[in-house]
Amino acid sequence: MTSTAHDVGALADFGERGARRVQVGRHAIVVVRWDDEVYALRDTCAHQGAPLSSGTLCHHVTAAAAGAPIVLDPDSRVLRCPWHGWQYDLCTGRSLHATERARVRTYPARVADGRVYVDLG
């Protein structure tokens, strides 16, 4: 574990699938647990600044056109903003909004000995 990795809590405290805001110094971070994987992103939506920790977890859903069949990507892991619904890929922080190229910063996160660590770099 590097010296910039911060212990942000026990894995069990994050539930099996959920998002929670943690404060590490001046950094507000949303830590997401999705089963046995953890992710960390800046807790500020790139659109108008909503706290992503109040968002919802879902899969990426698309449709080729209005009225076309909806396709769900079961391998995707997405955090949906609570205010206007922008969706972010948990791995990259990239917005999945077709018309936007925004992203939120991501941080390396991992589990060791039942604790969640976030590396602020």
Measured distance CA(87)–CA(36) in Å, rounded = 21
Single out the residue of 84, 92, 100, 112 in contact with ligand FES (rule: CB under 6 A). 84
- Pick out residues in 10-49 that bind ligand FES (CB under 6 A): 45, 47-49
Measured distance CA(65)–CA(31) in Å, rounded = 34
Q: Does 86 bind ligand FES (CB under 6 A)?
A: yes
CA end-to-end span of the chain: 12
Of 13-21, 62-70, 81-89, 113-121, the segment contacting ligand FES by CB under 6 A is 81-89
Q: How many other C-beta atoms can be found within 10 angstroms of the C-beta atom of residue 40? A: 27
Q: Which residues bind ligand FES (CB under 6 A)?
A: 45, 47-50, 81, 83-86
